[in-house]
Structure 1
Amino acid sequence: MGIVNMDELLNFHQSTETIGTAGQPTREQFKKIAEQGYSSVVNLAMHDSDNAIPEEGNIVSSLGMSYFHMPVPFDRPTAEHLKKFIRIMYALEGEKVFVHCALNARVSAFMYKYLTLCKSVGEAESTSPLLRQWLPQMDEAWKSIIRLSADEVG
């Protein structure tokens, strides 16, 4: 199997010991993800996102991983999207999970909220490099996601 360089993945970030995040992987990179022991893939990108792979679910499943596609419109994220994401992450707790979207922006924001609200991880440790770069120019729709409280998320 050998060591695979996960840094080849677009905007890869190891969020926790068991959760890796990135932008859209290629077909070949999904094989590398499986080789690294990930058992599930969560995709937050839209069906028509840049570089989307229409048969991604089939590819992931053929590699022995579970696949969850939860499209989040980049221009209209909602608290309901975040709540659904958190439910998926709780269902996959204890597994090695790979989460992606088109660039790792949606995922970085959702992972930040999941880690800070649900896992009591500090802000600094929950902020991916991409989120750190994005925060100053983030639009109001995403700022409202970042500001959600534990009560609002449930």
Structure 2
Amino acid sequence: MAFLAGFSSASQAQSLDAPNVVPITAQLTSSGQPTAKALEGLAAQGYEAVIYLAPPQVSDAVREEHLIIGRQNMVFVNIPIVFNKPTVKDYKMFAAILQGLGNKKVLVHCQVNMRASTMVFLYRVVVGKEDPGLAYEAVSKVWSPSGPWKQLMLDVLQKHQIGFEPY
């Protein structure tokens, strides 16, 4: 994915009914849990894939999300990351899936955009070779990772010899 490209359809992403919508590029957006109605309109906004990073049984999950996405002939992937136990394996799986989607327009979401913003940041920096300081701005719009999430970031960054201290 070309992550350095400008985001030309910010208004479309902003119309997504979900908490903490953060447009990254024209092809990538992260957010919290969209409403069922918002999910039903994703194909009309040009989305081709959804990566959902929370366990499907969390309280605010849209139970039929996989069916809603499937009916639109879109790709749906769920990586059920336990919030207080993210792993490097979770990141590797996420990175492989996102990379495999190529140039598809993708929505990466979780409940509030904490999991999603962090995983997208790591992907942008490790795979996309983006400047960590600039890429981290998207995370800081949502939260300041701490505990296991900050540790995950540090572990992945260190493994890839990327010097950056999340704040």
TM-score band w.r.t. shorter chain = 0.7 to 0.9
Residue number in structure 1 paired with 2:149: 142
Question: Cα offset for 1:51?
Answer: 1.3
CA RMSD of aligned residues (A): 2.0
- Aligned residue for 1:99, secondary structure, equals strand
- The question of 1:44 aligning with 2:53 is answered yes
Residue number in structure 2 paired with 1:96: 105
With over 3 angstroms needed to count, the CA separation of the structure-2 counterparts of 1:12 and 1:79, relative to structure 1, is: same
TM-score by length of 2: 0.80
Unaligned runs of 5+ in 2: 1-10, 161-167
- The question of 1:27 aligning with 2:66 is answered no
Unaligned runs of 5+ in 1: none
Map 1:1-150; keep pairs closer than 5 Å: 4=12, 5-6=14-15, 8-132=17-141, 134-135=143-144, 138-149=145-156
Q: What is the distance in 2 between the residues matched to 1:127 and 1:31?
A: 30
With over 3 angstroms needed to count, the CA separation of the structure-2 counterparts of 1:116 and 1:130, relative to structure 1, is: closer
Q: What is the distance in 2 between the residues matched to 1:131 and 1:74?
A: 18
Higher helix share: 1
Asked whether the 8 Å contact 1:42–1:98 carries over to 2, the reply is yes
Question: Cα offset for 1:32?
Answer: 2.5
Give percent identity, aligned residues only. Answer: 26
Asked whether the 8 Å contact 1:109–1:131 carries over to 2, the reply is no
Question: Cα offset for 1:79?
Answer: 0.3
Name the structure, 1 or 2, with higher relative contact order (CA <8 Å, separation 6+): 1
- Aligned residue for 1:148, secondary structure, equals helix
TM-score by length of 1: 0.87
The C-alpha deviation readout for 1:111-141, integer Å capped at 9, x for no partner, is: 1110011101122331254535522xx3321
Aligned positions, number: 149
With over 3 angstroms needed to count, the CA separation of the structure-2 counterparts of 1:11 and 1:27, relative to structure 1, is: same
Runs of 4+ in 1 over 4 A off after TM superposition: none
Letter in 1 for 2:22: H
